[in-house]
Structure 1
């Protein structure tokens, strides 16, 4: 039986470049990690696209054990140089732009693969901005292949958007306290068509309605009678002058009726009234929704690719840790 400390040590990268050390991240590191991610995104895109609350939410996800599932790399002066995060089949790796080209990306990727194997995952996927050619090349060289394409879409809001009337039998109102469970059911049912696994309610809530940036006023819901059949969940991210739509879902039996169009325009109108000059959202090729967003006047700002590969299980028992 392997001790917790022993497993934590065993899953650290075998080789880090000279002058670097590492440790597990904690929730108290959320701002430090966000600073690293913001520097990476700023160097790549000229702006930050990830909010600090997203990092905090990921570190607090149910089932995530930061002492095993995260890795924070620091330089000789103790400054953040790289960050890795693994949960199930998903990984996230970032290297500070001031420390790129030194092998940290490869070390973190190797750590992520080892960690995923020890939790029993047979595959691993990672999203990489298309502008990061070095990271894409590294993944391809390690046997990763393209799974789906993601796009960050934007729409300018110079004037108040017109909102069409909802289709017959449908009413629309903003999200209210008490809607959480119904909206969870709706969105997870809709996303079951393309997401690899269904989230538990605590995990879903941590990443949506429990985020400090969740904005109910810009999150309209569509009802058929007393049943939720459509939802837009929006965020108001500090430090950004744009609105952000985090999720869009319509129940299967109410699709192709214009409900998503009504909800999105309602959200856009709210952001315009709040003084936001634009609104953004992410989508990917698995949803088939790109044409809908483009028909609303949204355009592609930047793209990313999700890469994945199969993993070979470790020879020993998976993740056997003695508990205090």
Structure 2
């Protein structure tokens, strides 16, 4: 890697969790004015059986201090973080080029990731030839806003998932997401690691809707976000929402969404949030239940 004098680079291990999180948090605070990322985001990703630190991570160090990092998250997806104090020194460029090489070694045909629209990262990736693949929006139900309740059709039921539901949930999510996402099917073990075994997860956070026969036909998974400094709950974040294709048009997605919001508030979260992107065509669904856009991100990528 072509780095400024005095800086070194090497893959990191799970022991770097606090250092990687610190860089990611500083970057978000600088770029969007708040910290949405959590340590559990990294812990869950790193716990996936498919994740390999030696070939999928790279840290940049100033002495013993980690000041930037790059990760391959999965097929065609990566993330780079540079502490704001170390920007405009070529570190982001070096990590982007490392990520491209690592992606080639894993057999990926493209690489990229999300950056806040108009941020330093957005401008850098554009300069490096990364085009916009899609636009993403972060939406919130503001604290104190009324959540309109949605009933499900007769015979349908929304409830917490049980371990017996996990494979059905995985299939519903993957079938739905692969309608518009160009990637391989996520391994079931990776799904379990990032959802069911994510630090802080409790059974009530994984919601399902079943049809009159009892079959799972839709799901929503929640993450309860905390303030990194105080530990107070800040948001119930709907990480995944999916309804089986043949069950759409019955209002199940809206009902699942509102149920997730209600569950989040009952468990102490003052507001609710999620993200969606231009591939799904779901923005209007979320606006119908009172959500408003708080941030816009672009996913930039490059063919390899």
Q: Deviations over 1:107-147 (max 9, x none)?
A: 10011111112222221122111141x32222222221111
Tell me whether 1:231 sits opposite 2:224 in the alignment. Answer: no
Residues 147 and 289 of structure 2 are in contact (CA less than 8 Å); yes or no, is this contact kept in structure 1?
no
Tell me whether 1:49 sits opposite 2:36 in the alignment. Answer: yes
Q: TM-score, normalised by structure 1?
A: 0.87
Which stretches of structure 1, 4 residues or more, deviate above 3 A after TM superposition? Answer: 159-162
Residues 218 and 266 of structure 1 are in contact (CA less than 8 Å); yes or no, is this contact kept in structure 2?
no
* The one of 269, 275, 280 aligned to 2:262: 269
* The one of 76, 83, 106 aligned to 1:119: 106
SS in 1 for 2:3: coil
Alignment partners' CA distance in 2, 1:271 and 1:244:
8
SS in 1 for 2:257: helix
Deviation at 1:159? 6.0
- Aligned partner of 2:274 in structure 1 is 281
Q: TM-score, normalised by structure 2?
A: 0.93
Larger Rg: 1
Deviation at 1:43? 1.4
* The one of 159, 177, 183 aligned to 1:173: 159
Please list every run of 5 or more consecutive structure 1 residues that lacks an aligned counterpart in the other structure.
Answer: 1-12, 312-324
SS in 2 for 1:306: strand
Please list every run of 5 or more consecutive structure 2 residues that lacks an aligned counterpart in the other structure.
Answer: 228-232
> How large is the RMSD of aligned CA atoms in angstroms?
1.6
How is 1:48-127 mapped onto 2 (pairs within 5 angstroms)? 48-76=35-63, 78-86=64-72, 87-127=74-114
SS in 2 for 1:116: helix
SS in 1 for 2:163: coil
* The one of 103, 117, 121 aligned to 1:135: 121
Deviation at 1:16? 0.7
Comparing 226-235 and 27-36, the one that deviates more: 27-36
* The one of 131, 134, 139 aligned to 1:145: 131
Seen in structure 2, the aligned counterparts of structure 1 residues 218 and 210 have a Cα distance that, compared at 3 Å, is: closer
Alignment partners' CA distance in 2, 1:22 and 1:102:
14
SS in 2 for 1:236: strand
Alignment partners' CA distance in 2, 1:137 and 1:54:
25
Alignment partners' CA distance in 2, 1:111 and 1:55:
20
Alignment partners' CA distance in 2, 1:242 and 1:109:
32
